[in-house]
Chains A and B, each alone.
Chain A
Amino acid sequence: DTEVTQTPKHLVMGMTNKKSLKCEQHMGHRAMYWYKQKAKKPPELMFVYSYEKLSINESVPSRFSPECPNSSLLNLHLHALQPEDSALYLCASSQEGGAGGELFFGEGSRLTVL
């Protein structure tokens, strides 16, 4: 199984809503990532979890709250988002410290904030 699965594929939410994005991998990878991708732009790193601990937070606003319940799951909790937060949110995983840091990406969750 070499897949990273993300749900939901599409999400529309208002600025006062609370929602969550979910990501799952069963490759035994110990590092998991959230990226944000705007149209026609490269992915921008948001958070990295290594061995279920938050390793990197790229100064992301607190309205985005990551959570890593176990080594296979990664969540991104969303609250009080702004329309400019509309983007494709990509989850990725990689082996810890090896294999050239190859990232395995999910298909993404396309978020629209009204």
Chain B
Amino acid sequence: GEDVEQSLFLSVREGDSSVINCTYTDSSSTYLYWYKQEPGAGLQLLTYIFSNMDMKQDQRLTVLLNKKDKHLSLRIADTQTGDSAIYFCAESGTGGFKTIFGAGTRLFVKA
């Protein structure tokens, strides 16, 4: 079945760049997402990328997609303490209702 894997923990210093990596198995994935969850809150979509794209940039966020290797990454430039949260990689196919989430990467930003 479909699977999404990501590392569980990342620690960076404030002002550095953070890179969170993710791999997925479903070659028919159409959309790949990054969601952010702060403590005690729901998930918030940060950004998403279509599978026919290689890169997407949105202010401090850069998403890179290597479709051949089924590898997705999220780079956060100038990481701030407010970026401390859990980041979920997720994928879905066209028109489907099932979004498959990775286990989440807990980002800890040291001041």
A residues sitting closer than 8 Å to B (CB atoms) are 4, 6, 31, 33, 40-43, 45, 48, 50, 55-56, 90, 92, 94, 97, 100-108, 110
Contacts and interface: CB of A to CB of B under 8 A. Distances in A.
Given A92-B42, A97-B95, A104-B45, 9 more contacts: A41-B103, A41-B104, A43-B43, A92-B43, A100-B33, A102-B45, A102-B48, A105-B44, A107-B40
A43 B101 contact: yes
24 contacts: A6-B42, A33-B97, A40-B104, A42-B88, A42-B102, A42-B103, A43-B43, A45-B99, A48-B97, A56-B97, A56-B98, A90-B42, A92-B42, A92-B43, A100-B48, A100-B50, A101-B92, A101-B97, A102-B45, A102-B48, A103-B35, A105-B43, A107-B42, A108-B41
B98 A45 contact: yes
B96 interface: yes
Nearest to A103: B99
